[in-house]
Structure 1
């Protein structure tokens, strides 16, 4: 069997194991709370040793928020595909609205949102992940503002992206607090309008 095929099988097995652990962990988090759930409990539910848990996840927080890095890359790709003449605020809004939680019911999204916003370690980790998004989005925003990529003295692109990510965090919290009754795009538009006024 070719090495590439073997690697592909290994990767698929690893991805499957990671998904299984994450599913069991999320079930426990939602049933008994994030802080009350131990790595030993997650490992037992997933049928692995606690040591094996750390082959797939660095921390409990990464089980909940590990996908944010790939989501950031997907948003960056959507941003870069927006029309060149579109302004940075409009392009970022359109790119962010492509982000949809896959395979989660509205109730699950709300429960996960509450858990993130009510657990200090998850909230801090989420903000840290969003700072990684800032590095991904700034180059395209600089291009839209006509700022040369090598110009490191102009703060405008960084400021816009930082505002956008703060609005995203606030909107997520308010959507969760309101039990998802408000349209998230409407909340977004109201938050950004206040920042830009």
Structure 2
């Protein structure tokens, strides 16, 4: 490999790093403004100024203000599927999915989750796309499970496991919102999975 090839790869790596840092900065500044002022009261120009970019550059990363919130869901989804793929060898599909949901949700402080949930519920378009995210995440967890348990006769059970894990997350989110964060989301999830465990014997597949 020539010196030019090394320089091109290094340059490309730096560009990608800069893009990730810029997107992260836009997200953080945007969320901070949303929490302070509300989504509707925050303008794109304010977000761009807070992130140190132009309005035109903002549209390179996001199509709308709503997408800033939705990008956080996307990041959470990626964390979930990565956690499923990294589950210990002795895990069953249900345990892998359950532990992935619990570990990812445990990384988000309850106070931050309350505020983000409140923000998302103020936007009908975000709420609608949030439901679409759940469907997408169910499919992605299913694919991650299939990578670990590729046996054809496991397919149906793996789909059910993916549905149960995402369904638990949805129900826990509703309970968390109803209770205004009086209990940690992880605690609610543990309770839900415990109830499911009484009905579905863990370890039937794997």
Confirm or deny a common fold (TM above 0.5).
yes
1:186 is aligned to 2:190: no
1:116 is aligned to 2:117: no
Match of 2:51 among 46, 51, 69: 46
Task: Map 1:112-151 onto structure 2 (within 5 A).
Answer: 112-141=116-145, 148=152
Q: Give the deviation of 1:94 after TM superposition.
A: 0.7
Gaps of 5+ in 2: 200-206
Q: Give the deviation of 1:55 after TM superposition.
A: 0.5
Match in the other structure for 2:171: 170
Instruction: Mark the CA change 1:84 to 1:117 in structure 2 (over 3 Å): closer, same or farther.
Output: farther
Give the whole-Å Cα distance in 1 for the aligned partners of 2:29 and 2:106.
18
Give the whole-Å Cα distance in 1 for the aligned partners of 2:16 and 2:86.
29
Q: Using structure 1 for the length normalisation, give the TM-score.
A: 0.78
Q: Is the 8 A contact 1:68 1:129 kept in 2?
A: yes
Match of 1:35 among 32, 40, 43: 40
Q: Which has the higher contact order (CA 8 A, sep 6+)?
A: 2
Q: Using structure 2 for the length normalisation, give the TM-score.
A: 0.75
Over residues 125-176 of structure 1, what are the superposed CA-to-partner deviations in whole Å (9 max), with x where a residue is unaligned?
A: 2222222222221135457888518x9xx65433332232122022123224
RMSD (Å) for aligned C-alpha atoms: 3.0
Q: Is the 8 A contact 1:116 1:123 kept in 2?
A: yes
Q: Is the 8 A contact 2:29 2:47 kept in 1?
A: yes
Equivalent pairs counted in the alignment come to 193
Which SS does the other structure have where 2:104 is aligned? coil
Task: Map 1:91-102 onto structure 2 (within 5 A).
Answer: 91-100=96-105
| Structure ranking higher in helix proportion | 2
Gaps of 5+ in 1: none
Q: Give the deviation of 1:29 after TM superposition.
A: 0.7
